[in-house]
Structure 1
Amino acid sequence: MTRPSAAPNASGEGASDRFGTGPGAASAQPAAPGPESVHLAGVPDERRGPTVPVPAGPAKHRAPANEDDRFEQVLESLRKQIRDLEFAPGIAGAEEGEVLQSDVLAQLSDYVLPRVRRPDIPLLIAVAGSTGAGKSTLVNSLVGEQVTTTGVRRPTTNSPVLACNPADVDWFSEASFIPSLPRVRQQGLAMPGKDGMLVLAATEAMPPGVALLDTPDVDSAVAAHHEFAAKFLDAADLWVFVTTSGRYADARVWEFLQVARDRDTSLAVVLSRVPRKGRRQLLDHFGAMLEANGLGNAARFAIPETDQIEGERFTSNVADHIRDYLADVAGEAEQRDRVSRRTFIGVIDSFRSRVPELARQVEAQIETGRALGADIDDAYAGAAARIDTALGDGTLLRGSLLARWQEVAASGELAKSLRLRGKRARKGRAEQAERGQRVSALERAVRDALEALVVSANERASDQIEQRWRDVPGGADLAEKALDQPGSGLLAKQVRQEISEWQREIAEMTAANGATKRSVARFVTFDHEIVALVMIIDLLGYERSHSGGGTHAADTSGPSPQRLLKGLFGAQSLRSIGGSARENLRKRVLGLLTHERAPFDHALSTAGIPSEDSAVQLYQATYNLEIAR
């Protein structure tokens, strides 16, 4: 449900009457109290006001008992699973999931588990409702003395008041009742506390075993009060919901009433400030709305407009019917059990839908995480495929690389690199320098071409991921997080380093024993670095480019790289060296791409998306609860 709002409020009510109970209301109404009752101790008769009749003696409320430890263990396990859930902010399912998580966790911790563990918890009656409905005046009148103050401004301070017998006040301490909520204890009149603080008013006017809570307004203008009001309602056994003749049709009112319906909470509704004129039409319309919303069994009361208020409580019998109803509810331990058991079972029943709904929000996050992960896989698989194709189809043999190869091939450097064993090469310094420049230029061209290929493929993959992620709620923030990680811009340097190492490995393979044909190796030696460059040109698809298989046909002036290499190594050895070199290059490129995708993988893995088995565990917990209950 959407979380509600805050504060004690002013009233101005008059004589109370029941305005119809609906066809099923009889079951919701407790039996009439016995003849035996007690007066409220410590309060003079002239100040006491209406008293709440209860049986003599400290009859304690008994919550639904369950002696099976298994039930508590299942509930504890469910609470732990829900408590440990994390949602990735901004991603689909986060907002809804966090609200559901908070709702279910609060009811497990503040309502269900305490009632499973202890059979003598006081019955908590929460008086809730609209701004200006007169909740505080009603609470004071039901208690029989002023324990709370009515508001003079809207919204009022967000400090609810809980009235209980001194014998029960310890139960409502931080150790037992909503531990996260700060509170202050006051005797007698409970003055407003600080915003967000519960005021405990211990008074002998309240019978043992029953507590009355004046909650914040459910439709407060302060959004923070909504959560506060709902927290108390989630922990209550019985809701007394008060709204006015002018606000009973408000959407916020029905949001709360529908929550009570969905959870089968024990409920009484009070329509206050009912004018004499048109009274019957108002009551009939409100009753019809209750029936239409599945709340026909709720006990119903009406309070007419009145100025009979003194000391912030009614001076006449305005609240008599409501007081009698609550006396019936709270008067007998058996009746209290009946009321609280209905609410307790209703809450447990609601977990059948609320926990699976939470699981569905978890699944929404998991599915989004899978989709974002698939975007990374698809983008970098595409990058690897484009690189792999370009490495063998002659695409790179153009531009500067093609020009540098043609210079080396046309200069006769390839033939000059071969010489008879024992014969010293005779070259002038100028010729050697020129030769070195051409070979170095070819080496740089090879590195530049491969660097451009890998960098452009990575940039395309990165842009593809960013574009797809930005189309997913919450994905834009993850993309920015990934792109902001340090280390960007180093890919080009890493590519050059990998290519240099790759070239050295090829040279080492050509120099290995048994690589060269025996007939050649017996008489000829060669420059392994130059031959490694020739092999690279061949691996990059020279023959395919020459035959028209590439996107750019290379100028094939000079000797064919493959013919030269076959002459040196033989077909079988050449295939072995070429295959190893090609596979080595693929591994290096894939390693570079894996490193470049890491920021996206890290951003996704640290986003807080629930684990794959989280939803399954929640469904299993729902099943376990059904078995154990």
Structure 2
Amino acid sequence: MTRPSAAPDTSGSGASDRFATGPDATSDQPDQGHVPMPSAGGGDAARGGGPGLHQPGRPVEADPARHPAPAPDGRRFEQILESLRGHVRDLEFSEGLPGAEEGRALQADVLAQLSDYVLPRVRRPDIPLLIAVAGSTGAGKSTLVNSLVGEQVTTTGVRRPTTNSPVLACNPADVDWFSEASFIPTLPRVRQQGLAMPGKDGMLVLAASEAMPPGVALLDTPDVDSAVAAHHEFAAKFLDAADLWVFVTTSTRYADARVWEFLQVARDRDTSLAVVLSRVPRKGRRQLLDHFGAMLEANGLGNAARFAIPETDQIRGERFTSNVADHIREFLAEVAGEADQRDRVSRRTFVGVIDSFRSRVPELARQVETQIETGRALGAAVDDAFATASRRIDTGLGDGSLLRGSLSARWQEVAASGDLAKSLRMRGKRGRKARSEQAERGQRVASLERAVRDALEALVVSSCERAADQVEQAWRGVTGGARLVVRAQEHPTADLAKRIRKEIAEWQDEIAGMTTASGATKRSVARFVTFDHDIVALVLIIDLLGYERSHSGGGAHAADTSGPSPQRLLKGLFGAQSLRSMGGTARDNLRRRVLGLLAHERVPFDGALASAGIPTEDSAVQLYQATYNLEISR
């Protein structure tokens, strides 16, 4: 698509000379450079604001020409834009995390412009040209709109900065197009004939006026620097849907940062733009216009049409009583009256918006990537913490560190009492004395069993708690991560200690079952000896917990060497090969159960991440692909 030239621009040798001014300008500056138009006669202007945009000197065709939709390759281009809008619309951002605020703002911006400006102009070749009058508080936008239309269609006054009810003036033949079905469908609106009184906050007021030429609409927008933040977004929504911006600021507000934020958006999108400096005082006028013109040049807006309105009290009926705004009206009448010129203005803005997607959509994708990377970092913190917990448990289960304290004391009681040897009986020999000793032995064995469970429970619980603390600390170090910590804490897991005891009890039963399996006991022993499988299972657990390692290494984990070695006793019963097999199976079973416990303990963190709304991995790729598809379709 070939970009057309800018809208008609004023010209002159100096910065102040490039401002077209009305006849009320000071005498030191002649009226130069404004677009010449057929005169409509001075009478109407003197009576109250001029003939309006519908110029009697330029007849309007019965079926006025409308600017064609500036979309290349018709249906294919529309499909690509629809695909892009779908990808943008479906994006999710996790609240509070890096990239969320910027991403949502970009998402809303791109989505609104696709829905409210680009796609409507691709689908319909006959939509009215929308001219948005925007700018600073107190700049006289409403007065200017009334003067441009030629009758009062909007109200001015002290309430304007505190209300949020923009007014759109159009010909009655066009009012249907601005209904909810076509124009910004999410925005409520009210239709009024004649003078449009302020509507409810956030409502668009449609003012049908015969003074407006068919095919052109004039929009009085909320103040871009209003004290109400929501008004900024509201104003931006309308500017995103406009073909031409008429930006009005005052001689006292033109340097405000908010003014230049909006003007720079127009520059970046190559929007058709006219700039009006109002309330220009007689004294120091040239210096003021020079400075404002230099700021426009420095900000890349040197080609914008420029107009100046002198400081005046010639206002009646909320519009200028003289031809103060004639130069602006003539400029807009030129834009609105010629189909070719209207098409150039709309096409320039349309192409500028499409061009802007080259940077805006990838920037949106980068914010998506920021969220994805943050999600990966948060997920990695969970993985690292619970992997560390798994390694800690693995180490604690085999290095003998558990064989101290209560567990060590209970083991020594059983080992020193001879209970292990007494649990082995010659077949057929069970005396009265043996039966009487069984009850006492059972108490010591039960104490050992409880000590084993307590030690294993303490190891797993402390490891899980340490992992949870590690995750929470890592998450709180990320912007917005504290919110996810709270979300995880709102869904704690069930009683961990209870589940650990259940898993350990089942594991002990598995080991006892392995000792009873056919062929587990050495044949030479099995013919003569029977034994208590629960006690032998405990002995195997003590051996698996690193008894031999703790004794051979000495040091802090070394225990009393009185009593038989668990491994020597077990080898005598099962043989080395069978013992290795049972030990390996028991370790694997315990590891599987511990991993299940760890997986369950990380569920609140995984759930918090899953419900956080972090974009999916392919979201950014889809945006980049959609940008590429849009580019090659042009």
**TM-score scaled by structure 1?**
0.93
The answer as to 2:542 corresponding to 1:537 is: yes
Aligned residues: 605
**Pairing 1:335-484 to 2, within 5 Å after superposition:** 335-427=341-433, 431-484=437-490
User: Aligned to 2:611, which of 589, 601, 606?
Assistant: 606
Structure 1 counterpart of 2:311: 305
1:94 aligned to 79, 90, 100, which one?
100
Per the alignment, in what secondary structure is the counterpart of residue 621 of structure 1? helix
- Matched position secondary structure for 1:121: coil
1:588 maps to 2:589: no
Question: Residue type matched to 1:371 in 2?
Answer: A
Cα pair 1:369 1:609 within 8 Å, conserved:
yes
User: Paired residue for 2:238?
Assistant: 232
**Structure 2 partner of 1:525:** 530
SS in 1 for 2:248: strand
Give the whole-Å Cα distance in 2 for the aligned partners of 1:291 and 1:466. Answer: 52
The residue number in structure 1 matching 2:583 is 578
Q: CA deviation at 1:422?
A: 1.7
Please list the CA deviations of residues 28-63 of structure 1 after superposition, one character each: whole Å capped at 9, or x if unmatched: x9x755x698999xx999567333324431423213
Seen in structure 2, the aligned counterparts of structure 1 residues 44 and 544 have a Cα distance that, compared at 3 Å, is closer
Trace 1:209-248 onto structure 2 (pairs within 5 A): 209-248=215-254
The one of 300, 305, 310 aligned to 1:294: 300
1:293/1:87 CA distance change after superposition, 3 Å: same
Show the counterpart of 1:184. Answer: 190
The 2-side partners of 1:39 and 1:516 are apart by 120
Matched, 1:70 2:76: yes
Worse-superposed segment, 576-585 or 545-554: 545-554
Contact 2:117 2:242 (C-alpha < 8 Å) held by counterparts: yes
SS at match of 2:432: coil
Which whole-Å deviations, capped at 9, do the CAs of 1:216-261 have from their partners, x for residues lacking one? 1110011111111110000000000000000000000000000000
- What is the 5 A alignment of 1:164-203? 164-203=170-209
Aligned to 2:7: none
- Alignment match, 1:501: 506
State the AA in 2 paired with 1:49: G
- Secondary structure, counterpart of 1:447 in structure 2: helix
Q: Work out whether 1:51 is the aligned partner of 2:57.
A: no
Query: Residue 61 of structure 1 aligns with which residue?
Result: 66
Tell me, in whole angstroms, the C-alpha distance in 1 between the residues paired with 2:380 and 2:162.
51
Supply the distance in 2 between the matched residues of 1:452 and 1:431 (Cα, whole angstroms). 32
* Counterpart position of 1:133: 139
2-structure distance, mates of 1:536, 1:515: 16
Q: What is the one-letter code of the residue matched to 2:618? A: D
Q: Output the CA distance in 2 between the equivalents of 1:607 and 1:227.
A: 26
Contact 1:130 1:247 survives alignment (8 Å)? yes
Instruction: Give 1:518 deviation, angstroms.
Output: 0.4
CA contact (8 A) 2:412 2:563 kept: yes
For residues 46 and 221 of structure 1, the distance between their equivalents in structure 2, rounded to whole angstroms, comes to 35
Aligned to 2:17: none
Q: Is the 8 A contact 2:162 2:228 kept in 1?
A: no
1:280 match: 286
Identity fraction in percent: 81
SS of equivalent residue, structure 1 residue 390 = helix
**Closer, same or farther in 2 for the Cα pair 1:549/1:238, shift >3 Å?**
farther
- CA, structure 1 residues 549+579, in 2 after alignment: closer, same or farther (shift >3 Å)? farther
Cα offset, 1:430, TM superposition: 5.3
Task: Report deviation, 1:151.
Answer: 2.0
**How many Å separate the matches in 2 of 1:130 and 1:296?**
20
Deviation at 1:486, TM superposition (A): 3.8
1:597 matches 2:598: no
Amino acid across the alignment from 1:220? S
Q: Secondary structure at the match of 1:155?
A: helix
- The separation in 1 between residues aligned to 2:25 and 2:245, in whole angstroms, is 18
Q: Is the 8 A contact 2:169 2:209 kept in 1?
A: yes
Taking a change above 3 Å as real, the CA distance of residues 99 and 67 of structure 1, as seen in their structure-2 partners, is: same
Do the aligned residues in 2 keep the contact of 1:330 with 1:336 (CA within 8 Å)? yes
Aligned to 1:114: 120
Contact 2:46 2:323 in 1 (8 A): no
- Local SS of the residue matching 1:145: coil
Aligned to 1:8: none
